[in-house]
DNA sequence: GTACACGTCCAT
DNA sequence: ATGGACGTGTAC
């Protein structure tokens, strides 16, 4: 951010300079100790110009760097990104609209920028054109953006740094277990590699950012494979993104917008599954999610295709997501605060074997914790999570279900 | 009863 | 803020 800020700042500086090129006085005494003193009134402008240009260039560079590293610079456009995401999620059938709206949302926002340029909007709008928000609607062609993953992905997913950490250290170890190798090592690699904006489609990032749930072991033949084809393994591959995964919304936007990608029919069908074809999705979950996949649905009761109705296994769980089980405390009217369960569909959940090297594995007896690499993404988040009714609608269900179709 | 794993507390 | 230890709920 600082880089961006400076970039903006410089830009204004430069523009102002250009406007009054001959003006000996500068309003940036900080940058040039002598400039403000008018000692070399004749050369000062020239020197300043040069230095300013240098700074200008470097700033631009840093700005780009920052943006790219920020995962499509979404963080710069949280509002629009969210909006777009929501729209996409809300009206998945018409992603173009959502996308467009998302883009629109961006525009005014940038224009609203205050004089302080806190948010660097001007700069973002100008320099960031190739990526950000536009990102939401534009480069969907290839990657699938997860509605929730988009905003704040980088930050929120950072908790992962932990696992990433481990993966790198234990690296092969983590994946070693199932030969899943977890791409721990490839992670960083992906980041640096995808820096250039020149890549027609910044799919690497988007992909990665949205993805996350994919452990190499599972990634085979899945939608996200697109990325693999690129030969890049993104940092988030370890299952970073919250509920990441190549989600439906993004995919749809992409396929519809770009006209490429998956057959519309398939997409529609997939989305339908999230709501109507629940059974399909759930079965998929069951297949790979493990025995608990079904019961886990209690977490997503709000928006997910919880197969509770069809799964007797989930004893005390109800469609409302509220525990009616006689067991737990719900002594009076207070909603029981049941233990959350694994979502069963995220990357970690789908992982079947323990790494055997993480602290949890090593201290299994005393730690009572599940392998770090198997720790459900959902459980890593705060329990409350703000209800997440709108914030991240179908983080797992819809998107995850979607995934199974590719 | 046992094993597993989530939630919480506490140390760093 | 992060990670470890422990209590305890849940499933078998």
* pLDDT single digits (tens) A321-347: 333 333 333 333 344 467 788 887 888
Residue A373 lies in a domain: yes
- Give the per-residue pLDDT at A12: 34
The reported pLDDT for the residue numbered A147 is: 34
Mean pLDDT, chain A, rounded, equals: 40
Backbone angles phi, psi at A19, to 5 degrees: -65, -40
Q: Which domain holds residue A364?
A: 349-379
Residue A315 Cβ < 7 Å to strand C: yes
pLDDT at A199 over 50: no
Residue A263: inside a domain, yes or no? no
Dmax (CA) of chain A: 86
pLDDT in tens, A14-64: 333 333 333 333 333 333 333 333 333 333 444 444 444 445 444 434 433
Residue pair A113/A122 in contact (Cβ under 8 Å)? The answer is yes
Q: Does pLDDT of A286 surpass 60?
A: no
Residues A5, A13: contact at Cβ < 8 Å? no
Q: Is residue A369 part of a domain?
A: yes
Q: How many angstroms separate the CA atoms of A95 and A126, rounded? A: 25
pLDDT at A80 over 80: no
Sign of the torsion angle spanned by Cα atoms A130, A135, A139, A142:
positive
User: What's the whole-number mean pLDDT along residues A69-97?
Assistant: 34
A201-233 pLDDT tens trace: 333 333 333 333 333 333 333 333 333 333 333
Contacts 24+ apart (CB under 8 A), A162-166: A162/A372, A163/A238, A163/A239, A163/A240, A163/A372, A163/A373, A163/A375, A164/A235, A164/A238, A164/A240, A166/A355, A166/A357, A166/A358, A166/A372, A166/A373
* Distance from CA(A393) to C1'(C3), angstroms, rounded: 30
Q: How far apart are alpha carbons A263 and A389 in whole angstroms? A: 29
Through-space separation of residue A369 CA and nucleotide C4 C1' in angstroms: 10
A357: in domain: yes
Q: Write the burial class of residue A378 (CB in 10 Å: 0-12 exposed, 13-18 middle, 19+ buried).
A: buried
pLDDT of residue A383: 65
**Could you tell me which residue, A381 or A44, shows the higher pLDDT?**
A381
Distance A322 CA to B2 C1' (A): 28
**Sign (positive or negative) of CA dihedral A119, A122, A124, A125:** positive
Query: Does A361 map to a domain?
Result: yes
Residue A349: the pLDDT is 84
pLDDT of residue A384: 60
Any domain includes A370: yes
Domains held by chain A: number: 1
Answer with the residue of higher pLDDT: A210 or A378: A378
Q: Which nucleotide has the shortest C1'-to-CA distance from A366? A: C5
A330 falls within a domain:
no
Instruction: Write the DSSP string, A130-154.
Output: TSTGGGTTTTTTTS---TTTSTTHH
For nucleic chain B, give residues with Cβ below 7 angstroms from it.
A 337, 339-342, 364, 368-370, 374-376, 379, 383
Which nucleotide minimizes the distance between its C1' and the CA of A292?
C11
* Pairwise CA distance, residues A289 & A308, whole Å: 15
Residue A190 pLDDT class (50, 70, 90 cuts): very low
Distance A348 CA to C9 C1' (A): 22
With distances taken from each CA to the C1' atom of nucleotide B4, the closest residue turns out to be: A368
In whole angstroms, give the CA distance from residue A190 to residue A198.
Answer: 15
Tokens of A211: 């993805």
- Given a contact cutoff of 8 angstroms between Cβ atoms, the answer to whether A204 and A195 are in contact is no
Per-residue pLDDT of A230-251, as tens digits, reads 333 333 333 333 333 333 333 3
Residue A366 lies in a domain: yes
A392 vs A146: CA distance, rounded Å:
9
**A158 Cβ nearer than 7 Å to chain C strand:** yes
Distance A262 CA to C3 C1' (A): 43
Model confidence at A380, pLDDT cuts 50, 70, 90, reads: confident
Residue A356: pLDDT band (50, 70, 90) is confident
Between CA A309 and C1' C4 the distance (Å) reads 39
Alpha-carbon torsion, ordered A35, A40, A41, A43, to 10 deg: -100
């Amino acid at each position: 951010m600082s880089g961006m800020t400076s970039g903006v700042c410089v830009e204004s500086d430069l523009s102002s300079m250009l406007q009054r090129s001959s003006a000996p006085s500068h309003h940036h005494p900080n940058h040039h100790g002598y400039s403000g003193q008018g000692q070399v009134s004749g050369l000062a402008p020239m020197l300043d110009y040069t230095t300013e240009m240098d700074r200008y260039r470097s700033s631009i560079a840093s700005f780009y760097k920052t943006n790219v590293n920020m995962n499509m610079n979404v963080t710069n456009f949280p509002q629009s990104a969210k909006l777009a995401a929501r729209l996409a999620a809300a009206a998945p059938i018409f992603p173009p609209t959502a996308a467009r709206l998302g883009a629109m949302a961006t525009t005014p926002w940038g224009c609203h920028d205050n004089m302080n340029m806190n948010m660097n909007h001007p700069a973002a709008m100008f320099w960031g054109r190739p990526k950000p928000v536009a990102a939401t609607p534009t480069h969907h062609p290839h990657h699938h953006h997860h509605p929730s993953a988009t905003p704040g992905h980088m930050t929120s997913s950072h908790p992962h740094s932990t696992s990433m950490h481990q993966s790198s250290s234990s690296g092969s170890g983590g994946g070693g277990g199932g030969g899943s190798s977890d791409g721990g090592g490839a992670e960083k690699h992906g980041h640096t590699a995808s820096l250039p904006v020149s890549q027609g489609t910044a799919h690497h990032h988007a992909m990665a950012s949205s993805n996350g749930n994919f452990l190499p072991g599972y990634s085979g033949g899945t939608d996200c494979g697109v990325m693999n084809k690129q030969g890049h393994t993104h940092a988030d591959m370890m299952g970073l993104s919250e509920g990441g995964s190549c989600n439906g919304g993004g995919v749809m936007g992409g396929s519809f917008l770009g006209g490429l990608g998956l057959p519309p029919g398939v997409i529609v069908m997939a989305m339908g599954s999230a709501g109507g074809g629940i059974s399909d999705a759930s079965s998929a979950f069951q297949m790979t999610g493990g025995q608990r996949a079904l019961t886990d649905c209690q977490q997503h009761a709000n928006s997910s295709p919880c197969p509770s109705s069809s799964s007797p296994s989930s004893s005390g769980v109800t469609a409302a997501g509220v525990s009616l089980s006689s067991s737990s405390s719900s002594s009076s009217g207070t909603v029981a605060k049941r233990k959350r369960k694994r979502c069963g569909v995220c990357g970690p959940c789908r992982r079947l074997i323990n790494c055997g090297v993480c602290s949890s594995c090593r201290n299994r007896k005393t730690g009572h914790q599940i392998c770090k690499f198997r720790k459900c993404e959902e459980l890593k988040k705060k329990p409350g999570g703000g209800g997440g009714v709108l914030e991240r609608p179908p983080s797992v269900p819809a998107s995850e279900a979607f995934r199974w179709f590719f």
